[in-house]
Amino acid sequence: MQLALDASIANLPATERTASELDDMDALVRTYRPRLLRFVAFSIGDTDLAESITQDCFLKAYNARDRFRGDCSISTWLTSIAVNLIRDQQRLQKFRFWRQARATAIDITDATNFLPSHESSPESRLLVKEKASQVYAALQNLSPNQRSVFLMRFFEELELSEISAITNIPVNTVKTHLHRALKSVRTQVRAAQSAAPDDARNPQLNRRARRPQPTSSHPAGETL
């Protein structure tokens, strides 16, 4: 496997170069593991595999820490390693005829139980759970490239240039992937919302719907 460690991220703005952070494996894992695990897990949709890939990612980063030149942030560098590992895994999965049933797939409704309970009311928690489930279901229908780019932009909050450098895709193609992914997610979430009983599901949107409409016509009144 070829890690895009050197040349591919040369155009990124220089950020922190923390050699001691890379040497301290415990600190590295403590700091970046949640984000990396989230990215890998929702990219491939398998919890056990995601943990394995995340560990591989940290080990590769630790072994290749001398090659990190500080052209990008450590988080971006780790993400680029993870993207390559995910790509390898997806390539490998194509040739596996004995693909397992998704026994270790992420249960998003179970994941919502991890939300801190003191931050919100039960109603808003239910709303969050509902919307998160809809987005997660929509993510499953995206292509691997669209999903990966979507997660990098909206979860990892990477810039378009960073995504372009990590994935070796031109910036315009990244934008295209993001537009298509957003459109697909929006369509599916809207369909899920319209299929659900409106009053019980989304009181916020219904309140907005009951509001007096502005006199000006809104050409694009669509929301997620």
Min separation Cβ 94 and other proteins, Å: 26
137 exposed, middle or buried (CB, 10 Å; 0-12, 13-18, 19+)?
middle
H/E stretch holding 134: helix 122-140
CA distances from residue 45 to 63, 91, 98 in whole angstroms, order as listed? 27, 15, 17
- Letters for 118-147 (x = contact with other proteins by CB under 8 A, - = none) are ---------xxx-xx-xxx-----------
Residue among 103, 128, 102, 104 at smallest CA distance from 114: 128
The residue type found at 68 is: F
Binding segment for other proteins (CB under 8 A), chosen from 11-19, 68-76, 82-90, 213-221, is 213-221
Site track for other proteins across 22-61, x = CB under 8 A: ---xx--xx--xxx-xx--xx----x---x---x--xx--
Q: What is the crossing angle of helices 144-154 and 160-167, to 10°?
A: 140
Q: Does 205 bind other proteins (CB under 8 A)?
A: yes
Binding region for other proteins (CB under 8 A): 25-26, 29-30, 33-35, 37-38, 41-42, 47, 51, 55, 58-59, 62-63, 106, 108, 111-112, 114-116, 127-129, 131-132, 134-136, 153-155, 159-160, 175, 178-179, 182-183, 185-186, 189, 205, 208, 214, 216-224
